[in-house]
């Protein structure tokens, strides 16, 4: 499968001339949509249909970050002001009732995504809340209990997969110990491997997720100079070996301030470290083009996993 190792983003609710060229002539792996791209059901359906027509690919990956409450790109279209922590609290009180309620919730959300032409949702958040966790995570996390996070994470993937929506576990290998927002600066976590393994890494272990998204975090006791997204040591020894993640690894947004280089360097460093795809979220056409010209085609592993994802969508 010949695709560039890049997920692009768009500026508005309609495709610009440059974006049409990008999708028809270049080979991005996928597209991620944001609130700025989403106005009404009809408009979204037209947009996703246009993307697939231009790429000549009926299963072209179209991604959304639709967690509910704090992170809802479909706020203009659906109201689901409900957080992951709501289900985490419910799960502690009554696991069976929570599981059934959560199933209905994920099924109804997935039905809407299917209708809109979206086939990947970047949930579940598997970060475990700690005392000093930055509010950027907050109630996006299921719980401060690692087992609750893991169990609800597994249910999320199970329910999404039944409805042919792929989930993305994030932010691997764990954002809960970060005290600052990685959108604004690089968080530094000074816990040792044993401490991280006991709590933060736990929910990510042996997940059957097709995709995972990295954390832009410097784990100083594991790699003193590279955040997880750009750390060979963390990706190979922790994410792949210790956590046993076997799917496609996507960088978090390479335009976030936690990464210190220019976009192209951020992208190349992430891929060289072991990310399979890089994510660009700012939606600037010039940057999309600069990146796609600079980024290599996906490797054999990613090509194989992408084919498996396409088969899953049948």
Would you state the torsion angle of the CA atoms of residues 305, 306, 312, 314, taken in this order, to the nearest 10 degrees? -150
Give the mean pLDDT of 165-175: 97
Region 51-80 average pLDDT: 93
Kindly state the DSSP code that residue 139 receives in the 8-state scheme.
G
pLDDT digits (tens, 9 = 90+) for 126-159: 999 999 899 999 999 999 999 999 999 999 999 9
d(CA 211, CA 276): 10
**Locus of tokens 């890494």:** 201
Tell me what pLDDT residue 70 has: 84
d(CA 92, CA 140): 16
Q: What percent of the chain has pLDDT over 70?
A: 100
Parallel, antiparallel or unpaired: strands 71-72 and 66-68: antiparallel
Contacts of 197 (CB under 8 A, 6+ apart): 242
Position 80 pLDDT exceeds 90: no
- Contact, 152 vs 84, CB < 8 A? yes
pTM of this prediction exceeds 0.75: yes
pLDDT of residue 290 exceeding 90: yes
Distance CA 259, CA 187 (A): 10
Task: Give the separation between CA 156 and CA 177, rounded to whole angstroms.
Answer: 23
- C-alpha count within 13 angstroms, C-beta hemisphere, residue 89: 7
């Amino acid at each position: 499968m010949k695709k560039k190792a890049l997920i692009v983003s768009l500026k508005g609710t309609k495709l610009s001339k440059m974006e049409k060229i990008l999708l028809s002539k270049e080979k991005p792996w996928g597209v991620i949509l944001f609130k700025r791209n989403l106005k009404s059901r009809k408009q979204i359906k037209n947009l996703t249909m246009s993307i697939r027509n231009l790429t000549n690919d009926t299963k072209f990956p179209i991604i959304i970050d639709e967690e509910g409450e704090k992170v809802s790109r479909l706020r203009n279209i659906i109201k689901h002001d409900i957080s992951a922590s709501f289900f985490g609290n419910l799960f502690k009180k009554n696991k069976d009732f929570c599981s059934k309620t959560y199933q209905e919730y994920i099924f109804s959300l997935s039905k809407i995504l299917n209708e809109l032409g979206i086939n990947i949702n970047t949930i579940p958040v598997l970060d475990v809340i700690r005392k000093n966790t930055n509010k950027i995570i907050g109630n996006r996390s299921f719980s401060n209990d690692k087992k609750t996070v893991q169990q609800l994470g597994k249910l999320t993937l199970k329910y999404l997969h039944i409805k042919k929506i792929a989930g993305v576990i994030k932010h691997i290998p764990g954002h809960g110990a970060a005290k600052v927002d990685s959108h604004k600066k690089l968080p530094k976590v000074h816990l040792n491997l044993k401490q991280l393994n006991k709590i933060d890494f736990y929910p990510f272990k042996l997940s059957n997720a097709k995709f995972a998204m990295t954390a832009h975090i410097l784990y100083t006791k594991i790699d003193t100079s590279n955040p997880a997204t750009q750390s060979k040591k963390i990706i190979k020894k922790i994410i792949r070996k210790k956590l046993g993640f076997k799917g496609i690894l996507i960088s978090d947004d390479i335009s976030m301030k936690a990464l210190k280089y220019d976009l192209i360097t951020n992208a190349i460093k992430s891929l060289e470290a072991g990310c399979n795809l890089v994510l660009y979220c700012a939606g600037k056409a010039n940057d999309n083009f600069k990146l796609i010209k600079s980024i290599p085609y996906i490797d054999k592993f990613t090509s194989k996993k992408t084919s498996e994802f396409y088969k899953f969508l049948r």
